[in-house]
């Protein structure tokens, strides 16, 4: 079954589904209607399953969780965000969240597929035989998925605040969830993201204390900074110091910063372990 | 030989002012008496009466050209209303036009508040009453059942029911946009204005957790609170207790602002993460305009609410033609089935026994 398509073909198919969700949602909004929640959910689920297949094939090929280059990191982050959406989306019942998730997933998956440099070098067995390091990396990336969904929720939150403050509640603003719902889901995602990243850092630090040279200081500083930044945001939110518009903007800006930090982190670790580098010759 | 036809006669809010509608309103005991009399009219096979505060309409099937006039005469006699006077307000339609009218009424297109859905239930009730009285037959059964489907279709596929069109309901809708649900929402009504009271009642009817009334005259506050099943708050405590409420409805006659930016800011410091919705229905305004710039505070005045209600109304009005066309197609289709039934010999001797509901999916 796995051999039917290559990993990138599976991932292209997944990207096509996410793009379909984006197009269907956009058309609904242009027509002044609400994107169908069931359709969005079905399209995203189909994309998710195809992406799971693609990541499975890639993981099989590289001998572990596929987190060896920017392409894989983008794919895994999108997949993590979708995983959460599929869980949250059922209770949240916002087709707009599905639409925004589809937009983000399409952007992450298709951009990584379209940029050949992202996947120019595959690195196999990057975690050696240490499952803890693989676990550390996987849940660190999973927390980025949580933060991605937080950024989307924050965008919806800002739009809802804008609609109420500017007294424009008609049109597609009427499809937005309430202020309280968005605030609560944002807070829960922030708590979850901070906790998951904390677990990842704890697991990683155990390995690092046994082998200081294995992790670059730059990567360590950047990753810890991301966690500290989100933790500070959480503390401020719980104290009522970071609310409303500022909370929304922080959710978006921190994710952009976290995403941008993946590049230098990925680059810095290329020379810091003994992974097998495989130059790809031809990619679809 | 004359074939039976479908007809509607009556009066509604379009032509009849409220004073006339009061006189025409059919009390339930009068309705029973009238229907007993109408049943004896020869040639009147089926009849359903839609009797609401805005309309009294008789939908019938009869095989005499004068049957509608006979029903009108009997109704006017029952209500002690001059027939000549009734002519000025009378609605009278026959055949397909009568069915189209019923369809538009059921879809809320003919209602005073365009697109309201209460009328649908009232027509269902009217039909159920006619069935109970065994005054429906194959024609009205088919018409009503198909019209219910058509009205549901129009409501679900167009925007005729989208958005609230009254100030009180717009305020409730805004609160739902902020709080999601009202079951944990505490309401404070400041002042004894009529519109404020209506708005407070709208919040209560949508399941608000608690309502508190505050007024300069505490006795008045107590009186309103008792009427509404709420609690009363001394007016001088409103600032210190502001933080306890999620929605504040202001409708005092105070000549100056009673909620300043400083007052609201102080309240928000005690509840920074929970939004506060201020509805200012007073003129002059009770809430300082600058309050709206505070984080997590939303201020809507009378003009803001009226503008939203007007926009929603305009949006519904823009849907009228689409809805009428949709209903027109359904009625046209329905009429193709009804017309042969009307001219078939069996219909001229309609059984009073109700027929079971028809299940076909489309008209």
C-alpha to C-alpha distances, A156 to A23, A245, A250, B175, nearest whole angstrom? 18, 11, 13, 17
From chain B, the residues in CB contact with A163 under 8 A are: 177
B101 CB-near residues (< 8 Å, 6+ apart): B8, B91, B93, B110
CA distance A68 to A123: 5
CA distance B77 to B44: 18
The two tokens of residue B103 are 């369809």
pLDDT band at A259 (very low <50, low <70, confident <90, very high): confident
Residue A14 above 70 pLDDT? yes
Pick among A176, A179, A235 to test the B interface (most B CBs inside 10 A): A179
Q: What is the pLDDT of residue A221?
A: 85
Look at residues B259, B269, B268 and name the one whose alpha carbon lies nearest to residue B290: B259
> Whole-number mean pLDDT of chain A?
82
Element (H, E) at B239: helix B238-241
In order of start, what are the domains of chain B with their CATH numbers? 5-160+319-347 (3.30.460.30), 167-312 (3.40.50.720)
Q: What is the pTM of this model?
A: 0.74
Residues (pLDDT < 50) of chain B are 348-363
CA distance B341 to B337: 7
Q: Is the peptide bond before A223 cis (omega within 30 degrees of 0)?
A: no
- Contact A170/B311, CB-based, under 8 Å? yes
CA distance A109 to A74: 7
With tokens 């660190």, the residue in question is A140
CA distance A284 to B140: 66
Residue A275 above 60 pLDDT? no
Q: What is the pLDDT of residue A212?
A: 65
**What is the DSSP code (8-state) at residue B3?**
P
CA distance B41 to B34: 11
- Per DSSP, the residues of chain A read -GGGS-HHHHHHHHHHHHHHHHHHHHHHHHTT-PPPHHHHHHHHHHHHHHHHHHHHHHHHHHTSSS-SSHHHHHHHHHHHHHHHHHHHHHHH--HHHHHHHHHHHHHHHHHHHH-GGGGSEEEESTTTT-HHHHHHHHHHHHHHHHHHHHHHHHHHHHHHHHHHHTT--SGGGGGSPPHHHHHHHHHHHHHHHHHHHHHHHHHHHHHHHH-GGGS-HHHHHHHHHHHHHHHHHHHHHHTTSS-HHHHHHHHHHHHHHHHHHHHHHHHHHTTSS-PEEEE-----
B149/A98: higher pLDDT: B149
- Contact B295/A246, CB-based, under 8 Å? yes
pLDDT digits (tens, 9 = 90+) for A111-150: 888 887 777 676 666 666 677 777 787 888 888 888 988 9
- Contact A174/B307, CB-based, under 8 Å? no
Enumerate the active-site residues of B: 53
CA distance B69 to B2: 16
- Contact A183/B273, CB-based, under 8 Å? yes
From chain A, the residues in CB contact with B298 under 8 A are: 164-165
Helix axes A244-269, A217-238, angle to 10 degrees: 170
Q: What is the pLDDT of residue B147?
A: 96
Measured between CA atoms, the residue of chain A closest to residue B296 is A244
Which residue from B177, B273, B274 is facing A169, i.e. has the nearest CB? B177
Look at residues B73, B149, B142, B144 and name the one whose alpha carbon lies nearest to residue B347: B142
Pick among B267, B274, B275 to test the A interface (most A CBs inside 10 A): B275
Residue A283 above 50 pLDDT? no
Measured between CA atoms, the residue of chain A closest to residue B301 is A167
CA distance B252 to B282: 6
- Contact A167/B180, CB-based, under 8 Å? no
Look at residues A32, A46, A146 and name the one whose alpha carbon lies nearest to residue A88: A146
Measured between CA atoms, the residue of chain A closest to residue B270 is A240
Q: What is the pLDDT of residue B342?
A: 81
Sign of CA dihedral A121, A122, A126, A128: negative
How much is the ipTM here? 0.75
Q: What is the pLDDT of residue B360?
A: 38
Q: What is the pLDDT of residue B86?
A: 93
The two tokens of residue B47 are 């009849």
CA distance B236 to B147: 56
Residue A249 above 70 pLDDT? yes
Measured between CA atoms, the residue of chain A closest to residue B273 is A240
């Amino acid at each position: 079954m796995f051999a039917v398509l290559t990993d990138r073909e599976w991932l292209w198919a997944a990207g096509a589904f996410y793009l379909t969700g984006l197009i269907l949602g956009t058309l609904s909004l242009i027509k002044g209607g609400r994107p169908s929640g069931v359709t969005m959910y079905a399209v995203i689920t189909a994309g998710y399953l195809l992406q799971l297949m693609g990541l499975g094939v890639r993981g099989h090929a590289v001998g572990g969780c596929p987190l060896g280059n920017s392409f894989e990191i983008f794919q895994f982050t999108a997949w993590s965000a979708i995983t959460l959406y599929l869980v949250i989306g059922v209770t949240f019942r916002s087709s707009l969240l599905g639409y925004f998730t589809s937009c983000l997933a399409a952007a992450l998956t298709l951009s990584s597929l379209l940029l050949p440099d992202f996947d120019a070098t595959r690195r196999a067995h990057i975690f050696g035989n240490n499952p803890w390091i693989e676990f550390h990396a996987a849940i660190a990336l999973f927390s980025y998925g949580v933060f991605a969904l937080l950024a989307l929720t924050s965008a919806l939150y800002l739009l809802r605040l804008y609609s109420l403050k500017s007294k424009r509640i008609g049109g597609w603003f009427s499809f937005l969830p309430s202020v309280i719902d968005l605030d609560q889901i944002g807070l829960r995602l922030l708590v979850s993201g901070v906790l998951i990243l904390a677990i990842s850092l704890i697991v990683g630090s155990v390995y690092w204390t046994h082998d200081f040279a294995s992790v670059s200081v730059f990567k360590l500083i950047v990753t810890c900074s991301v966690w500290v930044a989100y933790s500070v945001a959480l503390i401020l939110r719980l104290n009522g110091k970071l609310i409303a518009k500022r909370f929304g903007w922080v959710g978006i800006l921190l994710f952009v910063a976290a995403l941008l930090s993946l590049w230098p982190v990925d680059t810095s670790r290329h020379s810091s372990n003994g992974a097998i580098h495989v130059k790809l010759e031809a990619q679809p | 030989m004359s074939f039976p036809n479908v007809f509607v006669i009556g009066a509604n809010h379009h032509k009849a002012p409220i004073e006339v509608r009061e006189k025409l309103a059919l009390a339930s005991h009068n309705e029973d008496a009238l229907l007993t009399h109408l049943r004896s009219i020869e040639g009147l096979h089926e009849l359903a009466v839609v009797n609401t505060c805005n309309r009294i309409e008789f939908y019938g099937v009869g095989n005499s050209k004068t049957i509608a006039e006979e029903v009108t005469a009997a109704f006017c006699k029952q209500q002690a209303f001059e027939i000549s006077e009734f002519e000025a307000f009378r609605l009278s339609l026959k055949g397909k036009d009568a069915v189209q009218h019923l369809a538009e009424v059921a879809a809320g297109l003919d209602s005073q508040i365009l697109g309201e859905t209460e009328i649908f239930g009232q027509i269902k009730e009217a039909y159920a009453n006619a069935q109970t009285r065994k005054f429906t037959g194959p024609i009205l059964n088919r018409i009503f059942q198909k019209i219910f489907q058509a009205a549901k279709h129009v409501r679900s596929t167009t925007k005729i029911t989208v958005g609230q069109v009254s100030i009180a309901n717009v305020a409730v809708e805004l609160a739902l946009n902020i709080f999601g649900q009202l079951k944990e929402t505490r309401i404070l009504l400041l002042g004894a204005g009529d519109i404020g009271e209506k708005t407070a009642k709208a919040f209560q009817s949508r399941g608000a957790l608690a309502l508190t009334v505050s007024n300069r005259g505490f006795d008045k506050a107590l009186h309103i609170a008792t009427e509404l099943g709420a609690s009363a708050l001394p007016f001088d405590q409103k600032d210190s207790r502001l933080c306890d409420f999620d929605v504040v409805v202001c409708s005092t006659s105070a000549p100056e602002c009673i909620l300043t930016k400083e007052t609201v800011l102080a309240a928000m410091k005690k509840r920074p993460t929970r939004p506060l919705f201020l509805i200012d229905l007073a003129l002059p305004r009770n809430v300082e305009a600058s309050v709206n710039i505070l984080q997590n505070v939303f201020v809507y005045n009378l003009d803001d609410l009226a503008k939203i209600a007007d926009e929603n109304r305009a949006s519904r009005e823009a849907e009228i033609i689409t809805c009428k066309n949709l209903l027109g197609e359904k009625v046209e289709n329905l009429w193709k089935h009804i017309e042969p039934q009307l001219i078939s010999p069996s219909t001229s001797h309609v059984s009073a026994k109700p027929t079971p509901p028809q299940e076909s999916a489309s008209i």
